[in-house]
Amino acid sequence: MVADAVVPILLLSGGYLIHHSRLFATGLGSFLELSLTLRNLLRLVVTIVSWWGVFHAFGLYNYARIREWGYETVTVTMACSVCSVLSLAFWPMALSRHPIVKSIPIVWCCTIVAAVAVRYSLRLYDMKISPRFIKPRNILIVGTGPRAQQLYQEAANQRSWSVLGFVDAVGGYCCPPDIESMFLGPLEKLERILMRQVVDEVLIALPILSCYQQIQDVITVCEKVGVEVRYFPHVFKSRVATRQYDHNPKTPAVVLKMVDHHAGCKLLKRTIDIAGAAAGLLVLSPLFALVAMTITLTSPGPILFAQERYGLNKRRFRMLKFRTMCSNAEKLQSSVEHMNEASGPLFKIRNDPRVTVLGKLLRKTSLDELPQLYNVLRGEMSLVGPRPMSIRDVARFSEAWLMRRFSVKPGITGLWQISGRSNVSFDRWMELDLKYIDRWSLRLDLEILLKTLPVVARGTGAQ
């Protein structure tokens, strides 16, 4: 993170000095007249913090995600592009006397090159140079079962750990030959082993449910001898939830998060939602007025259609749309149920008789969805997310796993929209929603937003 912060500091400072290069020619005294105001320093701090936020939201500090060099390069490029746009927002007023804004395109290119170069250099340092200076910590693994074997394999891939051996109860698990050869003795000899060998840390890999008292004894021995001890929160197995430790001093606990979204990333996503929705409502206000006037002139009834939908954690809200059906469409629902063409619990009719002539055009162009920008501004929806579903459809869900789609805010667009919309089966739709939840990143949101425009222009899957 420190290296990432150095990049914008150097580039902004470089651009600042380039625009004042004439002061070099007039002597050192004139050059020293350059002064940094408190306002500019504050803007620099905000820029760096925003830089970290964007990089974090793009997953560039999730090192499990960026193992592939190509993926990291593309992601850094996209993140730097967002950071350059933010620089335009932060700096024009502060630098009105010093027109560094003209250098933004150059700064953008240099930023990408510098950020990629810094990360590539750090990766080379981590792989080639740092191992020569790292003194590995001697660790002792308590246990010889599957978890202990997994820890041993993980330790073998870490330069900072050196496994001295294993201790376990006599007559415990049957272990592989390589682990058996490193067996130092039973748990009863742990205190003597820690007294006679150089041990930096003890890793507990015993099954908690069946070895609770033994684990407590190991912790007691380590406290007595003064050796660090580490145990793992894998008491229960989870398939999709992410474990996070809650540091509440009164009630510390391991929390199984259904959605692995960092608080900073959630804040940045909400900021983008507010900015995007506000800008959309402002820019598209003439179009809103035109659509509203056309609806009024072509069919009787209200301009907007409000329907209860399920949102985050299945909380209900009233989703807005431009009215595309006759005013009594909901009362006629039961009379057209037999015409349903959709699979699963959904209700879809390709040629719904309740849809007005203008409504067909609005649906084809997705203009009927634009009022949902107001729902985004209110915090009930997001620009990107699973589509909000009606009370009628959700009431017909027969499997519990379908409810996991409500663990994030619904969106105006999502993977379903760019994958065919109504041409996609119900099972595939739910699969795409869960894929979005499990793989969310700011990069994914931007990709979906960029792909939405051509899909809407083609009218793919619209009904």
162: domain CATH number?
3.40.50.720
In a shared domain, residues 86 and 146:
no
Over residues 56-67, the pLDDT tens digits come to 777 776 665 556
Total domain count, the chain: 3
* Residue at which a domain ends, from 83, 113, 131: 131
In a shared domain, residues 187 and 96:
no
Over residues 202-258, the pLDDT tens digits come to 999 888 878 888 989 999 999 988 899 888 766 667 777 777 777 666 677 777 777
In a shared domain, residues 150 and 87:
no
pLDDT of residue 136: 81
In a shared domain, residues 309 and 441:
yes
Q: What is the pLDDT averaged over residues 265-282?
A: 88
Q: Is residue 152 part of a domain?
A: yes
Residue 268's contacts (CB-CB under 8 Å, 6 or more residues apart) are 53, 54, 56, 57, 442
Instruction: Select the more confidently predicted residue: 342 or 443.
Output: 443
Instruction: Select the more confidently predicted residue: 394 or 243.
Output: 394
In a shared domain, residues 40 and 120:
yes
Pairing label, strands 183-185, 201-204? unpaired
Return mean pLDDT, the chain: 79
In a shared domain, residues 223 and 270:
no
In a shared domain, residues 40 and 108:
yes
pLDDT of residue 102: 54
| Cα 457 from Cα 447, distance rounded (Å) | 16
Q: What is the pLDDT averaged over residues 327-339?
A: 78
Residue 282 lies in domain: 263-458
pLDDT at 376 over 90: yes
**Sorting pLDDT into bands at 50, 70 and 90, what band is 349?**
confident
Instruction: Quote the pTM value.
Output: 0.66
In a shared domain, residues 30 and 116:
yes
pLDDT of residue 158: 73
Q: Is residue 249 part of a domain?
A: no
pLDDT at 265 over 60: yes
pLDDT of residue 375: 96
Three-state secondary structure of the chain:
CHHHHHHHHHHHHHHHHHCCCHHHHCCHHHHCCCCCCHHHHHHHHHHHHHHHHHHHHCCCCCCCCCCCHHHHHHHHHHHHHHHHHHHHHHCCCCCCCCCHHHHHHHHHHHHHHHHHHHHHHHHHHHHHHHHHCCCCEEEEEECCCHHHHHHHHHHHCCCCEEEEEEECCCCCCCCCHHHHCCEEECHHHHHHHHHHCCCCEEEECCCCCCCHHHHHHHHHHHHHHCCEEEECCCCCCCCCCEEEEECCCCCCEEEEECCCCCHHHHHHHHHHHHHHHHHHHHHCHHHHHHHHHHHHHHCCCCCEEEEEEECHHHCEEEEEEECCECCCCCCCHHHHHHHCCCCCCCCCCCCCCCECHHHHHHHHHCHHHCCHHHHHHHCCCEEECCCCEEHHHHCCCCCHHHHHHHHCCCEEECCCHHHCHHHCCHHHHHHHHHHHHHCCCHHHHHHHHHHHHHHHHHCCCCC
In a shared domain, residues 81 and 178:
no
Q: Is residue 28 part of a domain?
A: yes
Q: Please name which of 266, 210, 200 lies closest in space to residue 235, comparing C-alpha atoms.
A: 210
In a shared domain, residues 426 and 278:
yes
CB 139 within 8 A of CB 170: no
Q: Is residue 254 part of a domain?
A: no
**Sorting pLDDT into bands at 50, 70 and 90, what band is 373?**
very high
Q: Is residue 390 part of a domain?
A: yes
Over residues 151-204, the pLDDT tens digits come to 888 887 777 788 889 998 765 456 778 888 888 888 899 999 998 888 999 999
pLDDT of residue 31: 43
* Residue at which a domain ends, from 232, 250, 278: 232
Q: Is residue 245 part of a domain?
A: no
pLDDT at 400 over 80: yes
Instruction: Select the more confidently predicted residue: 365 or 99.
Output: 365
**Sorting pLDDT into bands at 50, 70 and 90, what band is 97?**
very low
Q: Is residue 333 part of a domain?
A: yes
| Cα 179 from Cα 145, distance rounded (Å) | 10
Instruction: Select the more confidently predicted residue: 314 or 130.
Output: 314
In a shared domain, residues 123 and 159:
no
Instruction: Select the more confidently predicted residue: 16 or 119.
Output: 119
Q: Is residue 250 part of a domain?
A: no
